[in-house]
């Protein structure tokens, strides 16, 4: 089964969703191919290195509201074993980070690269839009940055828009069924099982239709349509 996760590496709920999907896949009794797809919360974002809290206060209108919002998501993350340090995080554009994930995906290390980038941004306070930082993270993950992938990432971002993706994380199962938000692990496991059941049912129906079509005609004293 193929599961695509649309996310942005500066989205805290995406970090949580990424972590929960990994757990769900481990619990699911079946083969799952996870593909990481790019989404940019701020397509025009630049990597100024400005403290993230300051940028959030400017966007959402005040320190009090931002403190409440970040405390809530940090608390949820902590329950999942993730350490979100908003006091360390800095504002960053994410296009180049997505390009690294695309490169890593080709080498079967997309999940590891995404994990590195999430941790770098939310826990270590690194600028994931900085070329030097990205080079170091790629090397740590065993990913060679060949400079490729920009065109492909733009195409995948366009596909996300065409699919109507407006918020992340979003999980797309078999290119048909979507689940939005950082759902609990048990919800994702249930979704995997439901999609497996539906896919098996659809496959069986297609095979039956093919057999019936092949059997159309007159033979052995009977006619079939």
The 10s digit of each residue's pLDDT in 174-200 is 999 999 999 999 999 999 999 999 998
Mean pLDDT of 206-219: 60
The number of beta carbons lying within 10 Å of the beta carbon of residue 81 is 8
Q: What percent of the chain has pLDDT over 90?
A: 84
Alpha-carbon distance of 66 to 72, in angstroms, equals: 10
Going by their DSSP bridges, the two strands 170-173 and 2-7 should be labelled as antiparallel
Domain spans, the chain? 2-224
The pLDDT of residue 210 is: 60
Q: Which of 17, 3, 9 is nearest to 38 (CA)?
A: 9
Assign 90 to helix, strand or coil.
Answer: strand
Q: Which parts of the chain fold into alpha helices (H)?
A: 12-27, 52-60, 63-79, 95-106, 110-122, 131-141, 150-163, 185-214
Q: Which fold has domain 2-224?
A: Glutaredoxin (3.40.30)
- Provide the mean pLDDT of the chain: 93
Residue 119 token pair: 């941790």
Alpha-carbon distance of 112 to 41, in angstroms, equals: 21
Mean pLDDT of 126-148: 97
Q: Which residues are within 8 A (CB) of 1 and not within 5 positions of it... i.e. 6 or more apart?
A: 30, 31, 32, 33, 173, 174, 192, 195, 196, 199
Would you place residue 211 in the very low, low, confident or very high pLDDT band (cuts 50, 70, 90)? low
Dihedral over Cα of 52, 54, 55, 61: its sign: positive
């Amino acid at each position: 089964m193929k599961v695509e996760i649309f996310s942005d590496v500066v989205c805290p709920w995406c970090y949580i969703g990424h972590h929960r999907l990994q757990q769900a896949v481990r619990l699911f009794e079946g083969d799952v191919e996870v593909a990481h797809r790019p989404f940019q919360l701020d397509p025009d974002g630049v990597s100024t290195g400005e403290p993230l809290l300051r940028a959030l206060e400017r966007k959402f209108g005040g320190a009090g509201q931002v403190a409440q919002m970040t405390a809530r998501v940090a608390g949820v993350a902590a329950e999942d074993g993730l350490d979100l340090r908003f006091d360390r995080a800095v504002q960053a554009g994410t296009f180049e980070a997505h390009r690294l994930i695309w490169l890593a995906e080709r080498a079967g290390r997309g999940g590891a690269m995404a994990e590195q980038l999430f941790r770098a941004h939310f826990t270590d306070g690194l600028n994931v839009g900085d070329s030097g930082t990205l080079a170091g993270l790629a090397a740590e993950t065993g990913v060679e940055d060949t400079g490729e992938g920009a065109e492909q990432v733009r195409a995948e971002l366009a596909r996300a828009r065409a699919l109507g993706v407006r918020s992340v994380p979003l999980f797309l199962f078999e290119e048909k069924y979507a689940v939005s938000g950082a759902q609990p692990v048990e919800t994702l496991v249930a979704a995997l099982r439901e999609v497996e059941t539906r896919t098996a049912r659809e496959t069986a129906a297609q095979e039956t239709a093919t057999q019936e079509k092949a059997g159309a005609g007159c033979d052995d004293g009977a006619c079939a349509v």
